[in-house]
Amino acid sequence: MSERSYKTVVRVKEPVSKGTPVEHVPLPELGHKLIPKERYTSEEFLELEWQTIWTKVWLLGGLERDVAEPGDYLCTEIGRESVIIVRGQDNKLRAFYNVCPHRGNRLVEPGMDQVDSFVCSYHGWEYGTNGRFVSIPDRELFPQGPPCAGLTEIPCDTWNNFVFFSLNPDVMSLAEYMAPIAGHFEPYHFDRMTVVRDLTVEWGCNWKTSVDAFNETYHVAATHPQLLWYLNDMDVQIDCYERHSRYLVPFGMVSPKIERVPEIPPPLKVMLSDAGLDPASYEGPIDGIRKAVQQHLREKAAEEGFDYSDLNDDQLTDDYNYLVFPNLTFNTHADHLMLFRHRPHATDPNQMYFDVWMLHYIVDEDELPEERPRHRHFTAADRKSLGMVIDQDGGNLPKVQQGMNSAAFQGLWLGDLEVRLRHFHKTIEDYIQEYGPEDALNE
Amino acid sequence: MDLGLREKRAIITGATQGIGRKILEALIAEGCTVATCSRSPESVEAIIEQCSTRKAEVIGAACDVKDQEEYEAWIEDMVKQMDGVDIFIPNVSAGGGMDSEKNWWKSFEVDMLGTVRGCEAVIPHMKESGGGAITLISSSAAVETFAVPQAYNAMKAAVITYGKQLSQFVGVDNIRVNMVSPGPIEFPGGSWDMLKDTMPKWYAKIQRDHPTGRLGKPEEVAKAVVFLSSPAASWINGANLMIDGGFTKRVQF
């Protein structure tokens, strides 16, 4: 990146635990070529992605806690497929296609529940939580026997309290898939966090248009001007690891783009108060707020019951933002996790599903929600607000998608602050090269 | 119209930016010598260098108006350097906020005591030289409900009451005391510039509440302050002038 004249951010030099490294990984050589727009707009490319990515990688199913007891299941959709993840009576987690092998009916609706068995609503074929047949009504009508032993099982595993599945029966182990970042989330102890929000919004854009919106800070100044008074959008540490990537965005300071700060900006006042510091009593310099909050949280956390012992100081304020390939955005913070899952539409490259899980680290039992908030689904017409920042992003996306479909637009012309988008596309290319037809990338 | 400000000696606290800066520049343009302060010596040095002209000089030194001793010593020093004082404008403010009780103490110390202590320090010198003009900076937030129940609004109201009272008290010494109550004032690097980004809906509402659809500019306040502080306003005393482009809605009789 070219030299800039602003002050660089002081970062933690050594990790405090072996979990999250702070070391900057040198950027791979990714070139400067244009990213063809067809990747975002063509049905052929959507199908190519289905064949080479969605059916080959590990995908997030949901939260492990939602399938904690025997009989608990969750049902999630990816493209044209629907998947059941269920904890068997033997306490083992398994994933199955949500398809009755008799005539193809879906066994359950997307969502979660607890069952003794799955009974097909069409002819009553019944399956145990281990996926095997329990009963077939009037069995004697099938002299040829059943078509198989039960539901079609697919790989299933857990990582940091999340359940993953893969439509690829030959997929590498989940541990191997996550390898370079396998331990990065451990210091956050997601198992201590409580779900406070769970929803899906339909957005009128390609799933990658949505991934991209959370993969660079270049758009902050124009799209989220209020965040210039809360974070550093320019001095961002970007690390690319094989198929995944992250950036570390310093919070608790103003952008180098702000020339003069008249007083403590409202968002930084909120940060101070949230940390238990009185903004009116804060006499230090404004560029000392990030450090003051870190120190205060470090000192006060333990007595308030928060265990931050595995987290470094920067993790107490900053956004450690990960893209777990292909479609997960983890905004990890000491006391909360904002997780986005970007899912493609089954047939339309101009539509997608944006899933949001908000998890909070709550130590005071009185503050715990009485029950798990139920999942809610909104269409674009519902105009559901997801908060100022995501609303600002969501407002851009359909317009970006429409513009990408224009004859005037050739493709994405990316700058240095957008290098994670390049890396994302490099990974997509790698998968297409491995699993696609030879000429698939002759775009 | 000649304001009669040539070679007058003015003291204004906090003039590195915004309204204070524009008042200082206007006083300089009218030929006054102006003394100012800021908490940072660098800011004072900068303003001296940027604003002094061949005809009119800016002097100053670093000073924290919250520190009584330091503040009073600074005023004495400025008066001495200028060999007297004709105009006093206590402009420094602790700003808004309702974070904690601390906001009340800060507003009291800076907005209120910064005004009272300053006036008490300059008045003997003004008496000695036969008179002077004091212009206090209040706010439209003092006369109508605004934003939140914060110390700033209440202290700015107290400034108006104090100023009116003072005008009766020192009138006999040929010292006039007036107040100005600016509405929301916007300038690059100012609070409203920041609120435009951080609280865009609130900013837009405030904008709409102005008959002209915009916020005020520092120079629009400065011109009125300079006029009130000048001999041209010799028969205006104890007044509180709203400088808000019609933002406040009450009827003044």
Q: How much is the ipTM here? A: 0.91
Residue of A269, A389, A236, A248 lying closest to A331 (CA atoms): A248
Is a pLDDT exceeding 50 seen at residue A2? no
| B189 closest CB neighbour out of A229, A260, A280 | A260
Q: How far apart are CA A403 and CA A364, in angstroms?
A: 48
| A145/A213 same-domain check | no
Question: What are the φ/ψ torsions at residue A228 (nearest 5 degrees)?
Answer: -65, -20
State the pLDDT confidence band at A5, using cuts at 50, 70 and 90. low
Q: How far apart are CA A201 and CA A353, in angstroms?
A: 6
| A103/A165 same-domain check | yes
For residue A82, the one-letter residue type is S
At A114-164, the pLDDT tens digits run 999 999 999 999 999 999 999 999 999 999 999 999 999 999 999 999 999
CATH number at residue A286: 3.90.380.10
pLDDT value of residue A4: 53
Is a pLDDT exceeding 90 seen at residue B31? yes
Is a pLDDT exceeding 70 seen at residue A3? no
CB atoms under 10 Å from CB of A123, counted, come to 14
pLDDT value of residue A443: 66
Residue of A377, A381, A415 lying closest to A398 (CA atoms): A381
Domain for residue A30, yes or no? Answer: no
Partners of residue B97 in chain A, C-beta under 8 Å:
269, 279-280
User: Domain range for residue A79?
Assistant: 59-170
**Chain-wide mean pLDDT for chain B?**
97
Is a pLDDT exceeding 90 seen at residue A8? no
| A165/A270 same-domain check | no
Instruction: Judge: B193–A225 Cβ closer than 8 Å, yes or no.
Output: no
At B88-120, the pLDDT tens digits run 999 999 999 999 999 999 999 999 999 999 999
Partners of residue A277 in chain B, C-beta under 8 Å:
none
**Chain-wide mean pLDDT for chain A?**
95
Q: How far apart are CA A63 and CA A211, in angstroms?
A: 20
Percent of chain B with pLDDT over 90: 99
pLDDT value of residue A16: 84
pLDDT value of residue B95: 94
| A390/A252 same-domain check | yes
Instruction: Judge: B106–A280 Cβ closer than 8 Å, yes or no.
Output: yes
| B189 closest CB neighbour out of A226, A259, A273 | A259
Best A263, A277, A392 residue to mutate vs chain B (most B CBs within 10 Å):
A263
| A262 closest CB neighbour out of B103, B191, B200 | B191
Strand partners, B244: none
| A226-265 residues touching B, CB cutoff 8 A | 226, 228-229, 259-263, 265
Is a pLDDT exceeding 90 seen at residue A440? no
pLDDT value of residue A366: 85
Is a pLDDT exceeding 70 seen at residue A17? yes
For residue B22, the one-letter residue type is K
* This prediction's pTM: 0.92
Is a pLDDT exceeding 70 seen at residue A58? yes
CATH number at residue A110: 2.102.10.10
Domain for residue A441, yes or no? Answer: no
Interface of chain B toward chain A, CB-CB under 8 angstroms: 17-18, 95, 97, 99-100, 102-103, 106, 188-191, 193-200
Q: Which residues does A46 contact at the CB level (< 8 Å), separation at least 6?
A: A344, A347, A348, A349
Domain for residue A14, yes or no? Answer: no
| A131/A43 same-domain check | no
At A298-345, the pLDDT tens digits run 999 888 889 999 999 999 999 999 999 999 999 999 999 999 999 999
Q: Which two tokens stand for residue A169?
A: 């029966």
Partners of residue A225 in chain B, C-beta under 8 Å:
196-197, 200
Q: Which residue of A has its CA nearest to B189?
A: A260
| A280/A406 same-domain check | yes
Helix axes of A289-301 and A266-274: crossing angle, nearest 10 degrees: 20
pLDDT value of residue A364: 85
**How close, in Å, is residue B101 to chain A by CA atoms?**
8
Q: What is the DSSP string of chain B?
A: -----TT-EEEEE--SSHHHHHHHHHHHHTT-EEEEEESSHHHHHHHHHHH--SS--EEEEE--TTSHHHHHHHHHHHHHHHTS-SEEE---------SSTHHHHHHIIIIIHHHHHHHHHHHHHHHHTT-EEEEEE--GGGTS--SSS-HHHHHHHHHHHHHHHHHHHHGGGTEEEEEEEE--B--TTSHHHHHHHHSHHHHHHHHHTSTTSS-B-HHHHHHHHHHHTSGGGTT--S-EEEESTT---PPP-
Q: How far apart are CA A135 and CA A149, in angstroms?
A: 11
Domain for residue A3, yes or no? Answer: no
At B172-198, the pLDDT tens digits run 999 999 999 999 999 999 999 999 999
At B116-154, the pLDDT tens digits run 999 999 999 999 999 999 999 999 999 999 999 999 999
Domain for residue A90, yes or no? Answer: yes
Domain for residue A297, yes or no? Answer: yes
Percent of chain A with pLDDT over 70: 98
Domain for residue A442, yes or no? Answer: no
State the total domains in chain A: 2
| A302/A237 same-domain check | yes
| A186/A142 same-domain check | no
pLDDT value of residue A368: 84
At A363-378, the pLDDT tens digits run 888 888 889 999 999 9
Q: How many CA atoms lie less than 13 Å away from A56 in the CB half-sphere?
A: 17
**How close, in Å, is residue A225 to chain B by CA atoms?**
5
| B194 closest CB neighbour out of A265, A273, A279 | A265
Is a pLDDT exceeding 80 seen at residue A94? yes
Query: What's B9-186+217-243's CATH class?
Result: alpha beta
